[in-house]
Amino acid sequence: MSKKLLTGQPVNMGMPAMTNLTEQWKKGKLDHGWYYIKYRGAYKTDQWQGYYWENSWNENVEEVIAPVPSYDDWVYLHKARNDAHEIVESLTQENQQLKELLRECKTPIDLLIKMNIDGINGYKLLDLLTKIDNAIGEKK
C-alpha cells in the first residue's frame, strides 16, 4: 500500500497500520525490511529477514510498530514539518496584527457609544464592540 504525504507525494513506507504489521509478522507475511519494533518493553529498529529479526529474538518482539522511512522520505517529512512551522508562525503574526487593528477600533467605537450614538449604517455599536472584545479575548 502506498501512502501519500500532505502534498500528495508518495511515501515509500509500503505497509499498513501497526496492528496489521504485527498480524502480518505473526502470520509470516511481513515484507523484508527495516521496522520500528517494541522489544521487551523498549522501542528500537530492526531488520526483518523474512523468518527472523536481525538483532532480536522473535519471542521477545511484542509489536511491529511501523516501517522505517527511507532517507528521502525522512528529508521530505522534515522539510514538511519546517514548512508547517513557518506557516503557523506567519498565521500567528497575522492574527496578532488583526487583533491589534481591532483594539485600535475600540476607542472610536467607545467614544461614539458615550456620545449616545446607537448605530451607524445599521451597525449596532454596542454589539460590534462586544464582537471585537470576543475576537481579541477581552470579554466584558
Sketch the domain layout of the chain as residue ranges: 3-69, 74-136
The owner of cell 529477514 is 49
For 4-37, give the DSSP string.
Answer: E-TTS-EETT----HHHHHHHHHTT-PPSEEEEE
Specify the pTM: 0.52
Give the confidence band of 50 by pLDDT, cuts at 50, 70, 90: confident
- What pLDDT is recorded for position 110? 85
Helix (H, G, I), strand (E, B) or coil at 78: helix
Give 87-138 pLDDT, tens digit per residue: 999 999 999 999 999 999 988 988 888 887 776 776 788 888 889 989 888 7
Question: What is the rounded (10 degree) CA torsion for 54, 56, 58, 60?
Answer: -170
